[in-house]
Amino acid sequence: MSTNLKYLSLGILVFQTTSLVLTMRYSRTLKEEGPRYLSSTAVVVAEFLKIMACILLVYKDSKCNLRALNRVLHDEILNKPMETLKLAIPSGIYTLQNNLLYVALSNLDAATYQVTYQLKILTTALFSVSMLSKKLGVYQWLSLVILMTGVAFVQWPSDSQSTATKELSAGSQFVGLIAVLIACFSSGFAGVYFEKILKETKQSVWIRNIQLGFFGSIFGLMGVYIYDGELLSKNGFFQGYNKLTWIVVVLQRLFLWGHSCDSSYIPIWL
């Protein structure tokens, strides 16, 4: 991959990540008449979109032949149940992570969330060293220390905030912080675990993403009915959906590498 293409990919990723955070935060805090959309259903819809898009890409790789597509899906997924089951672990973790990100953005401002979530770079590095035996240079460790320092400064309480405001928002900010920290650890572990699976097998990344999406949809639907079953029965699956909601969902799956090429790797391995 050329250097220009790498930087172009990085620029697009930065734009996509930033726009996703801002739109997610806006969609979770926007006050409208009627029920607000359920974040758990948005996660499930995003997984279905990923499956559909990856199937289209496999179809394209199969020279747009339906029989070839059916044979590939049958041979690579149905005939290899143990290989498919390996994706259940990272898929479940990613589903948890995606739901936690909605919780975090509902309780933190976009800037604090974005900076704190970059701790996933640190967790990815640590899991890569421990699980993949990768070695980091002095400058890479120094970069991680600087990252941790920056996140600590962002979380440092500001004197400009009034005591009343702090008391009112302390609970929700704590919930948001815990949610984003758990998401950082889950992102790091699942990303490295998925990378390890990709290196140990010869299946394409699109097939692996279909497997991830399959389990992600199952886990996501379980979450919908367990935590939002009552609201679902009252107002339906797509309650509160509008144009902004669909923009958020599409942005989540705009880049299909998504989890398989987690953005955590870029600053360290580029």
Sign of CA dihedral 41, 44, 48, 50: positive
Q: Distance from CA of residue 69 to its chain's centroid?
A: 27
Give residue 102's Cα distance to chain centre: 10
- What pLDDT is recorded for position 269? 35
pLDDT in tens, the chain (270 residues): 567 777 887 787 778 778 888 888 888 888 878 888 999 999 999 999 999 999 999 999 888 899 999 999 998 888 888 888 989 999 999 999 999 989 998 888 888 888 888 888 889 899 999 988 888 888 888 888 887 887 777 666 555 554 434 544 555 888 888 999 999 999 899 989 988 888 888 788 889 889 999 999 999 999 999 989 999 998 899 999 999 999 999 888 764 444 444 434 433 333
- Rounded Cα gap, residues 198 and 210, in angstroms: 13
What pLDDT is stored for residue 158 in this prediction? 58
Q: Are 144 and 125 in contact (CB under 8 A)?
A: yes
Indicate yes or no: pTM above 0.75.
yes
Instruction: State which amino acid sits at residue 176.
Output: G
The C-alpha R_g of the chain, in whole angstroms, comes to 20
Tell me, what's the pLDDT at 185? 93
pLDDT of residue 56: 93
Tell me what pLDDT residue 259 has: 46
If you search the block for the tokens 């140990």, which residue do you land on? 200
Nearest to 45 by CA among 223, 261, 169, 226: 223
Nearest residue to 248 via CA among 10, 19, 15: 19
Question: What pLDDT score was predicted for residue 222?
Answer: 94
Between the CA of residue 98 and those of 40, 167, 227, 253, what are the distances in Å? 9, 28, 15, 12
The first and second tokens of residue 151, run together, are: 């996140």
- Position 44 scores a pLDDT of 94
Task: Name the nearest CA neighbour of 105 among 21, 15, 181.
Answer: 21
